[in-house]
Amino acid sequence: MPSSKKPLVVVTRKLPEVIEARMGELFDVRLNADDHAMTQAELAAAIKEADVLVPTVTDKIDAKLLAQVGPQLRLIAQFGTGVDNVDVESARRRGITVTNTPGVLTEDTADMTLALILAVPRRLAEGARFLRDSEGEWPGWSPTWMLGRRIYGKRLGIIGMGRIGQAVARRAKAFGLEIHYHNRKPANAVIEQELEATYWENLDEMLPKVDIVSVNCPHTPATYHMINTARLRLMRPDAYIVNTARGEIIDENALIRALEAGELGGAGLDVFENEPKVSPRLIKLRNVVSLPHMSSATVEGRVEMGGKVIVNIKTFMDGHRPPDRVIPAIM
């Protein structure tokens, strides 16, 4: 039987006001008013007394931390889609349910992916930076000024044809890009037909054939450094790579070396291997658009994420299976 006592819910980062207010009505909630990234010591203290922990991607919920958990913690309600920061299997062994917020960020992330697909070949950030740095003084239009590359008619290679990959493909098709993709298995035949997409079982065979690569797969042990030195060398020297998934999927040092050597046309990055640290070498490169993990940063998206967290907590505390339970076997 569910308890009538309000559960203690510890939230590790500041959330939208409307979500924090609703949590305050439903739960005994402990918020992070100054939005600082909690230390491992603070997280350890939280899990010793909380009934529910609401972490984000910036929190490392590993086996070492979970070894310190109190008997009362039964739910980790992740504020986010990815759960690579949580040792889900270790939590399961301790009887702790893990939930996430899937489906909410699909359109926002796909929007940002397409923005980077446009921005890098057309040198949008470089042009804006030039006008800002020159305080609006420039020599005027000329036939060879700030030449970029056309994206219409080019081949886009999507790595990971899940919800986000499909949303990227729909947008890209509307812009006249030819869709190619690599996935663990082919997409549904109806989706493949709708997108007029070509499936490549072998990633190494797809990379030399496409003009733009978009990384849209989750970060798992199998995808860590999936894009490494060898695979970067398979790409054409005028090709571009965009990553709005997880920084660890690309070997960042290998990417930097390839860009510095002129072996790639450019890169659009919203995620980095050692976040929040970003390599100064990346920032210096004119053919790289670097963003501070903004793909999911919309008001609408954050509120919807918070709503899913609340539903997951409330459902669990009412004695039912939460709708967004993470199952280790199918991660």
Q: What is the mean pLDDT of the chain?
A: 95
Q: Is the dihedral of CA 63, 68, 70, 76 positive or negative?
A: negative
Question: How many residues does this entry show for the chain?
Answer: 331
When pLDDT is averaged across residues 295-320 and rounded to a whole number, the result is 97
- What pLDDT was estimated at residue 1? 40
Active site residue 36: no
pLDDT higher than threshold 90 for residue 330: no
pLDDT at 134: 93
As a whole number of angstroms, the distance between CA 131 and CA 87 comes to 46
Of residues 4 and 134, more confidence is placed in 134
Q: Which residues contact 206 (CB under 8 A, 6 or more apart)?
A: 157, 180, 181, 182, 200
* 150-203 pLDDT, tens digit each: 999 999 999 999 999 999 999 999 999 999 999 999 999 999 999 999 999 999
In the residue annotation, 293 being an active-site residue is answered as: yes
Catalytic residue among 171, 219, 246, 302: 246
**Which entry of 171, 180, 182, 293 is annotated as an active-site residue?**
293
**Predicted confidence (pLDDT) per residue in 111-121, tens digit:** 999 999 999 99
Interaxial angle between packed helices 17-26 and 299-317, expressed in degrees from 0 to 180 and rounded to the nearest 10 = 10
Question: CA-CA distance, 219 to 188, in Å (whole number)?
Answer: 22
Per-residue three-class SS string for 184-241:
CCCCCHHHHHHHCCEECCCHHHHHHHCCEEEECCCCCCCCCCCECHHHHHHCCCCCEE
pLDDT score for 3: 57
DSSP string for residues in 40-104: HHHHHHHHTT-SEEE--TTS-B-HHHHTT--TT--EEE-SSS--TTB-HHHHHHTT-EEE--TTS
Residue found by looking up tokens 């796909």 in the block: 110
Confidence label for 34 from pLDDT (cuts 50, 70 and 90): very high
- Is residue 286 part of the annotated active site? The answer reads no
Residue 310: what are its φ and ψ, rounded to 5°?
Answer: -60, -45
Report helix, strand or coil for 277: coil
Catalytic residue among 263, 275, 281, 325: 275
How far is Cα 58 from Cα 38, in angstroms, rounded to an integer? 9
CA distance 161 to 182: 7
pLDDT higher than threshold 70 for residue 81: yes
Average pLDDT over residues 228-232: 98
C-alpha 133/C-alpha 207 separation (Å) is 36
pTM: 0.87
The whole-angstrom separation of Cα 66 and Cα 86 is: 10
A 10 A CB-CB count for 230 gives 11
What pLDDT is attached to residue 329?
Answer: 62
pLDDT in tens, 245-297: 999 999 999 999 999 999 999 999 999 999 999 999 999 999 999 999 999 99
Percent over 70 (pLDDT), the chain: 98
Q: How far is CA 167 from CA 24, 76, 112, 189, 280, in A?
A: 35, 28, 11, 16, 32
Give the pLDDT score at 209. Answer: 98
pLDDT at 289: 98
Segment 89-103 mean pLDDT: 96
Coil vs helix vs strand at 147: coil
Q: Over 90: is that where the pLDDT of 82 sits? A: no
Mean pLDDT (whole number) for 86-113: 96
How many angstroms separate the CA atoms of 210 and 187, rounded?
19
**Residue with structure tokens 């979970």?**
66
Domains and CATH numbers, the chain: 8-104+298-330 (3.40.50.720), 106-290 (3.40.50.720)
Angular region, 103: left φ>0, alpha ψ -120 to 50, beta rest: left
Separation between Cα atoms, residue 329 and residue 331, nearest integer Å: 6
